[in-house]
Amino acid sequence: MKERIERLKKLTYIPQNEIAWLIEQAELSVKQREIIEENKRQQEVTVHQFRQAQKDIQQLSGDRKRYKQALEKIITNLNFAITVAQNELEGDAK
């Protein structure tokens, strides 16, 4: 392709078939640029979605940790209440 372009630069008159080739190359270039721009846009969207997903995961991990701690406290309190109730039942049985 480079050779063909260099050859065309040297011509004072450009044949019709060569002009058609130049137009085709220009159209291809425009299409390629559009594709590249669309790919960049999609990449930006993907990066944004990935970052948002990371934030969501961090938030959910924090929520999970807080819920786990709260559940452990509830279990501890229930175990204590069960122990107290068992002791009272044993005391009443005597």
Q: What pLDDT does residue 94 have?
A: 62
Q: How many domains does the chain have?
A: 1
Q: Which residue shows structure tokens 């997903």?
A: 53
Q: Which two tokens stand for residue 12?
A: 């004072």
What is the SS3 assignment for 73?
helix
Q: What is the residue range of 88's domain? A: 2-93
pLDDT at residue 2 in the model: 80
- The rounded distance, in Å, linking the Cα atoms of 37 and 9 is 29
pLDDT value of residue 73: 96
pLDDT at residue 18 in the model: 86
- For residues 18 and 8, the answer to whether their CB atoms sit within 8 Å is yes
Q: DSSP secondary structure string, 10-22?
A: H-SS--HHHHHHH
In the predicted model, residues of the chain with pLDDT beneath 70 are 93-94
